[in-house]
């Protein structure tokens, strides 16, 4: 057999490719270390480039790179919540929650540092990104549940559950990821149904949803 | 009748009294305005003293006065959670939650500003004070429930509920305090019982608590 033309070992990356490469390198470091324990030298080393090149792309230094990494992680996280609108609704929610918890598992230290706050690189911008993820999560949940116009009581219930899931994620990381991911996931889905059931006693829209979920089987 | 010796209209306050007076004045302002909308001149005016006197007691200026006000509010809030250990347990929790929501109602803007973060005067110290209140709330809840050594699943459930109550308080303030306080309070207590009931399926300690609450009647 004639050997195929070899892929060139080195080639010039486009500006966008290089930027992505640096963000990926940063994210891999920020995922498992606290922001204060990551240096630009570390990022350059993981990306296999020089420190000045990192600065050329991120003149704002670590702060700017951190924000870009958080933005990139937020995009990835929002994709976790996406789910085809087919099959039983609680199963859709369970699958989305499974991907969310897998994300938390894979970004443990960075997730805690970002959400617990008080970090040197935390800014209004990173806080706004986190809030955006929370809002996106709520929208995806309404989609999973086939709710087009959630009323105030349902909205409050969903937002309370999202906050509670976030708190549970932080506690879970703090307690050496116990209970196991699938148990935590099912427990959280059960809690969601329990909260909705309580709200159903005060809100016809939520009562109709609970009835529909029961029919899903 | 001989008139009694009149109380002197003006008297020198002790250092502690003056400090308390300034903190009370600051707290009354921070309760209903965002921190950036309160000036030291406002505090001096409300306290009926000069600006230099405020600085003499709080040389760190607004930042230091804000932290002292948050500390004072935290002490007041922790007292809300206290409750004699008598009577049905859920009733104790309902009374504590009523006082908590009344506090939130009376400190609306300041409560939102402090918890939503991003404020110019937010510091690691104010965040630590808020975390201290959350921990105190958990301890009081275990007291109300007569639980001496909560296991990991019960602890996670209680912390999730506390976080959810905080989220509900912020949403409530954001939505013009709807539903009315007593409805929100009862709804939150019902949610607490619902969350514990779900956890009871996975945790014998919580199952025993649920059984005991049912016996309380």
Specify if A173 maps to a domain. Answer: yes
CATH of the domain at A200: 1.10.357.10
Chain A residues with CB-CB distance to B127 below 8 A: 117-118
* Residue of chain B minimizing CA distance to A178: B152
ipTM of model: 0.87
DSSP conformational letter for B146: T
d(CA A205, CA A137): 20
Whose structure tokens read 């929790």? B93
Residue A84 has what pLDDT? 85
B60 in a domain, yes or no? no
Q: In whole angstroms, what is the distance from residue A1 CA to residue A199 CA?
A: 69
- Segment-wise mean pLDDT, segments of 10 residues, chain A, 217 residues: 51 87 95 93 95 95 93 93 87 94 95 78 81 93 92 96 95 96 97 97 96 88
Q: Two tokens at B5?
A: 């010796």
Nearest residue to B157 (alpha-carbon basis) of A187, A120, A207, A22: A187
B111 assigned to some structural domain? yes
On whether residue A35 sits in a domain, the answer given is no
Instruction: Give the contacts of B121 (CB within 8 A, at least 6 positions apart).
Output: B35, B36, B62, B63, B66, B67
DSSP 8-state class, residue B87: S
Tell me if B49 is assigned to some domain: no
Is B156's CB within 8 Å of A164's CB?
Answer: no
Residues of A engaging B, defined by a Cβ cutoff of 8 Å: 117-118, 124, 127, 152-153, 155-156, 159-161, 163-164, 166-168, 171-172, 175, 178-179, 183, 187, 190-191, 194-195, 197-199, 201-202
Q: Which tens digits make up the pLDDT trace of A52-70?
A: 999 999 999 999 999 999 9
- Tokens 């230099």 found at: B52
The answer as to whether A25 is a domain residue is: no
Per-residue pLDDT of chain B (217 residues; tens, 9 = 90+): 455 554 545 568 888 999 999 999 999 999 999 999 999 999 999 999 999 999 999 999 999 999 999 999 999 999 998 888 888 999 999 999 999 999 999 999 999 988 886 666 667 788 889 999 999 999 999 988 889 999 999 999 999 999 999 999 999 999 999 999 999 999 999 999 999 999 999 999 999 999 999 998 6
Question: How many domains are contained in chain B?
Answer: 1
Q: What are phi and psi of A66, to 5 degrees?
A: -65, -45
DSSP B120: T
User: Residue A176: closest CA among chain B residues belongs to which residue?
Assistant: B152
Residue B61 lies inside a defined structural domain of this protein: no
CA pair distance B144, B82, nearest whole angstrom: 9
Q: What does DSSP assign to residue B6?
A: P
- Domain holding B122, by residue range, is 70-216
Residue B86 forms part of a structural domain: yes
DSSP A120-152: TT--HHHHHHHHHHHHHHHHHHHHHTT-SS--H
Instruction: Give the pTM.
Output: 0.89
Size of interface A-B (CB pairs under 8 A): 75
């Amino acid at each position: 057999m004639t050997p195929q033309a070899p892929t060139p070992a080195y080639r010039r990356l486009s500006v966008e490719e290089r930027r992505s490469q640096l963000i990926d390198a940063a994210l891999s470091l920020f995922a498992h270390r606290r922001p204060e324990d990551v240096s630009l030298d570390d990022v350059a080393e993981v990306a296999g480039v020089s420190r000045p090149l990192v600065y050329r792309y991120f003149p704002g230094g670590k702060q700017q790179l951190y924000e870009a990494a958080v933005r990139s992680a937020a995009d990835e996280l929002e994709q976790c919540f996406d789910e085809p609108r087919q099959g039983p609704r609680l199963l859709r929610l369970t699958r989305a929650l499974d991907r969310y918890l897998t994300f938390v598992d894979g970004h443990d230290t960075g997730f805690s540092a970002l959400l617990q706050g008080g970090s040197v690189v935390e800014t209004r911008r990173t806080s706004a990104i986190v809030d955006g993820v929370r809002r996106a999560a709520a929208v995806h949940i309404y989609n999973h549940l086939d709710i087009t116009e959630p009323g105030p009581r349902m909205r409050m219930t969903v937002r309370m559950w999202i906050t509670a899931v976030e708190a549970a994620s932080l506690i879970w990381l703090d307690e050496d990821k116990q209970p196991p991911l699938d148990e935590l996931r099912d427990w959280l889905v059960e809690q969601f149904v329990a909260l909705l059931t309580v709200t159903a006693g005060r809100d016809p829209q939520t009562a109709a949803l609970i009835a529909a979920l029961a029919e899903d089987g």
